[in-house]
Structures are given as structure tokens and as C-alpha cells.
Amino acid sequence: MQMKRAVVTGIGAMTPLALTIEETWQKLIAGESGVGEITLFDTSNHKTKIAGEVKGFDPLDYMDTKEARHMDRFCQLAIAAATEAVKDAELEKMPQLDIERVAVIIGSGIGGMDTFSREAQKLFERGPGRISPFFIPKMISDIAAGQVSMRYGFRGPNYATTSACASSANALADAWRIIQRGETDVVLAGGSEATINALGIAGFNALKALSMRNDEPEKASRPFDRERNGFVMGEGSGILIVESLEHALKRNARIYGELAGAGLSADAYHVTMPAPEGYGAQLAMKRCLENAGVAPEEVQYINAHGTSTPANDKNESIAIRKVFGAHADKLSVNSTKSMLGHLLGASGAIEAAVILLSMRDGILHPTINQEFSDPDCDLDYVPNQARKQEINISLSNSFGFGGHNACLCLRRFGE
């Protein structure tokens, strides 16, 4: 069977920097941080008081009051990002779009945590009779994909991927596969997350995973820097329109780039800690290169998982060296999380979008807060200033609690 090629024709994003992908991109290039003091709940009793909130978001810009009331914030953000992506790809202008061949795959590592927290409090304080009938439909992780498909009437495969911080990268990997096999023509793929609430921050604090640099929020997320001390929670959504090349060319769609391959693996090691020397990450990158038919020496840029935690950044750096050997010194490696914080299950999709815009504009955004070099992190992290660079082939890394690893290969489009 002849495998089909998958290309990206639309992008939508809600991030801590902006409510559109283009404005987010411009702020990333400028090295702006979206991290600040938490306003979504009272942090008086919390160790961490900073996060990357989506600011100025009003769900009523995308839906009516009744719909908004029946959706958790993570789902509202997904609807908003999907709306932008569909418009960007001009799917609604297609008179003969086959809605039975349009899939929706939207990942979330946690789903409706805010809804869960609120309804649990009702149970404890007021009893089971006060639980909302919308509790379950608002909370479940698959509901964002379901709501997007219902909004547009898309009847292709419809589900969620849940693999912690690799969730939306897994969604894109699945999109690549089902496009390859010819099962669908178009996939809305990505992720959404909204866990900046009292329960979410307390839970990650209990794991000692979050930075507590509360007095300098903009400097708290510092991937690969020696003074890093934990990740910064972020929220948001990223949705990409992945389309078969044949379908995109037939409708004369604008193409951002090609989703050329994906590689998946498991650490099989620890609940939260990465495997020594990033062994699982190595496997994911090697499998991605093999599936994309790309030699290590052809890769120019890696958008790293780069969480700003001591263990991840060290092991990811080692993994890159193990996979690329001497070529690792020629790679540009950056971390979008240095400015957005860690959007958990939404990170992979937004970081894939960043790669596509880097290819389009010939520029790499910086990894900010690079102040103190770490001998364990010895790659070129595009420190503090954006860099002009033509990019043809890139990788995007996403790793999640539970040992889930996903690597995507994106390539400049050429027929």
C-alpha cells in the first residue's frame, strides 16, 4: 500500500503569551515570558504562587453562556484553539468537505481537574444530591475531542490521547499514522490543559516538581540553566490541522510544513523520574528518525521537552548526545517552556506549531533565563536571543510521567 504524506495546513493556540498563535509566536521571538503571579485562585497557603495563565480569555467569544457553563476550562480552551485552526486552514470554505473523513484527536494529560475539584468539594460539604449532572461530561479527558466534533459535525475517528505531558504529541503521532494509511483526509490534532487550580498546584508541589521562585516569576522557568529548580505550571491549548498532501493540494491549501514521522517509547523505569541517560528518549528519537527516513546528520533543530527540572534537562541532553553523536554540537536546541511554562498535555502540539513557524520565518526563538552554565547540559540552547537560521528538518520531544516518550519529525514542505 502506498503511504500518504501528512502536511499541516492550519494552526490554533491559546497560550500564556497570547490568544492566537501568531501573537504567541512574535512574543516568543522577542523572548517574553508569560509567567506571573497566579490570579485564578488564592495561593496564600501554597508554596508555589506563580504559573503561566492564559490571560484575558473569555469563553463567550467562542460559545454562548449555556455552552460555556457546561464545559470545563480545558475544553473551552480547546474549542477556542480549534476555532482558530479551522479558520486558519479555511476548512469552512470548502463546499465539498467530506465530514465523515475528518477526525478529531485532542489529548489531555489530566482533563477537567477544575470541575473535579469543585464537585468533590460540593460532595464533602453538601452531599451527593448537589453534584451537577454535567460533572462527568465536563471532567472526562475525551470531551474536548467530542465537543469539537459536535461543533463542526466531523464524523471521522474521534478520541483523546492521555499520556501525561506527551498527550498532544501522541495525538499528532496518531494523526500522522491514520493519514498515512488513508483512513481520513483531515485530522484536527492537538491537546488542551487547564490545571492551574488549588488541587493541581498542591499536587505537583507535593511531588516537589514545581519551581518556588515566587519573587521572580519571569525567571522561574530556566531549562538547562544550572539554577533551575522545577517546572512552572502552564495552561493552554494547541490544535493543528493535519491533512493528506493529496487532499491539501487538491483544494490549494496553504501548507506550513510536513509531519514526516513519529517515534514512541516507554522508559519502563519510574513513575516520575526519567530513565538514566534518557534511554527511553533515545529510543523515541531513533524510532522517529527511522520512521521519517531521516539520517541524524540531516536534523538541524530540536525543540526540546526542556522542562526546567534538574533530572529532565540533564537526561534529555545526554539522550540527544547519544543519538546524534558528534552532530549534537551542530544542533540548535531550544525550550518553548522557558517562556510559556509547562502546558502538560498541550505542550507537544504548541511546540510542533513553533517548529513550523520557525521553518516558515527562518528564525529560532531563544531559551530565556540562560544565566549559569551547567556541565550536565552542554548543547547549544539558543541562549536568550532569537537566532536567524534556515530550518529544513526538526524534531520535537515530549516526555511524560509514567515513562511515556514521543518524538515528532517536521520537515519543510517540498513537493
Enzyme catalytic residues: 165, 305, 342
End-to-end CA separation in angstroms for the chain? 20
Amino acid present at 282: Q
Contact 245, 224 (CB under 8 A): no
Dist CA 260 CA 150 (whole Å): 29
C-alpha cell at 282: 533515545
Q: Count CB atoms within 10 A of the CB of residue 413.
A: 18
Strand 6-14 to strand 257-266: parallel, antiparallel, or no bridges (unpaired)?
A: antiparallel
Residue 128 burial class via C-beta count within 10 angstroms: exposed 0-12, middle 13-18, buried 19 and up: exposed
Contact 409, 287 (CB under 8 A): no
C-alpha cell at 3: 503511504
Contact 51, 234 (CB under 8 A): yes
